[in-house]
Structure formats: C-alpha cells, structure tokens
Amino acid sequence: MGLTDRYRTPADLPDRLPLFPLRGAILLPRASLSLNVFEPRYLALVDAALGSDRLIGIVQPSPESGLAESPLGKNFPLRDVGCAGRIVGFTESEDGRMAITLAGIARFVRGKDLPSEDPYRVCAVDFAPYADDFVPGHGEEEVDRPRLIAALRSYLKANGLNADWERINSATTERLVNALAILSPYGPEEKQCLLEAKDLCARADALVALAEMELATRDDGSGTTLQ
C-alpha cells in the first residue's frame, strides 16, 4: 500500500491547505515532485506540515502576478487549480535549507484565502471536481501508450538525452504520463494545461502534441522551440 493510498475520496482530505505557490511547477496524482526549500515563509510551511498531516498544496502563481518564481507577499493572484501532495521524504542541510519530496494525491479547485497569522497562504480547497483522481489508474486503458513512448523516444533523441528505459517500460501508464508532465521542460502555461487536462488520455495526448510541435519547429529550420 502506497503512502497516499489512504486518501480514497475527497472526504479523506481537509477542506483547507497551506499553499506553496511556484511558477513552472505542478504536481499530479501518484507522481512525485522534489523541491528545495529555502525561503523562511516556506520553511515555516514545511515545518508546520511535518508537525501535522504532512499535506501541502502546490499551485502556480497566475500570469498577472508577474514573472517571479514565487512572488512576495500573500495577496498575489494564483491559478485556480492545484494539486495536494503529502511530504514523503525530507532532508535538512546545515544552513537550514530543506529538500522535500511530495507524493501527489489529487487536484483541487482553489477557494478563498483564509485568515492566518502564518507567513504562508492558507486557502479553502475543493477536491470534488477531481474525484476520479482518487482512483489509481483511472483512464489508463484510453491512453495510446505506444504513441506516447514513440514521441518520447523522438524527443530524447532530438535533444541528445538518455533515459532509463527499463524503469519507463515497467511504470504504470498513469505514473508514466503524470511523471512526464511534471518533468517536462515546458513553460507555466503548458504545465497548467497538463495539470488541468480533463483525464489521463487528454494529458498524454497533450504531451505528444507538445513534443511533436517542438520537433516540427526544428524540422522547419526556424530554430524555435516551446521551451
């Protein structure tokens, strides 16, 4: 049983979460995200989470908040959809920084900010619109895995990159699709589209389309990419 398998319905999660806003970062169900935490406000968030239910919401700042990776203050606009994760591993360095690993549980629709004296934001969250996220492997049978693998091979070859194919081939389709979405090198808009894809098949199709578009731009000699 995985560490996140205890969360089987929206009722198994709280209706409020501390949020870690980070541009260009997304989290998805049953995939992992590693973060280096150094800002005092987010070190306080991690400390608080470790002392309670270990749950954190990952959400991107909205475009109107500027270009900062994580804007200052507690009032900047946020995206409407994020994902809850559980801290499943952490290490602390001598200079006070922390490296944490989050395991994704389910996506949420962000509600209003809640009053808090803490230096980080706490928001109401609603998991009901993404109830299918609690079902492991939901929608895997609809994914064209061979096409996804072919696109991945082409992308890696074009960029001179290697991959652990034994690990890729042994991964479930859900874990593969969600891990690729998290690790993909695309910008905040593309990442948010991958996060908000209606189902696993739509997310896989989006990944293939993004890879094919980038390869096509190289083939036409424009020298541009989506990165």
Strands 16-21 and 55-59 come out as parallel
**Average pLDDT, integer, range 14-18:** 97
Q: Is 54 helix (H, G, I), strand (E, B) or coil?
A: coil
Which residues have CB under 8 Å from 54's CB, separation 6+? 86, 87, 88
As beta bridge partners, residue 92 has: 98
pLDDT value for 3: 74
Burial (CB count within 10 angstroms: exposed 0-12, middle 13-18, buried 19+), residue 138: middle
Structure-block tokens of residue 11: 């009722």
Contact 81, 105 (CB under 8 A): no
Between 53 and 222, name the one with better pLDDT: 53
Residue-averaged pLDDT of the chain? 93
pLDDT value for 214: 86
Segment (H or E) for 207: helix 200-219
Its CATH class, for the domain covering 10-134, is mainly beta
Q: Rounded distance, CA 113 to CA 21, Å?
A: 13
pLDDT value for 219: 63
Give the tens place of pLDDT for each residue, 73-108: 999 999 999 999 999 999 999 999 999 999 999 999
CA distance readout (Å), 80 to 5, 7, 126: 25, 22, 11
Q: Rounded distance, CA 34 to CA 56, Å?
A: 13
**Average pLDDT, integer, range 27-55:** 96
**Average pLDDT, integer, range 212-218:** 84
Give the tens place of pLDDT for each residue, 116-131: 999 999 999 999 999 9
Q: Which of the four pLDDT bands, split at 50, 70 and 90, describes residue 5?
A: confident
Cα 59 to the center of its chain, rounded Å: 8
Contact 123, 111 (CB under 8 A): yes
pLDDT value for 220: 55
Domain boundaries, the chain: 10-134, 140-219
pLDDT value for 216: 86
Q: Is 31 helix (H, G, I), strand (E, B) or coil?
A: coil
pLDDT value for 4: 81
CA distance readout (Å), 209 to 109, 150, 152, 194: 26, 12, 11, 11
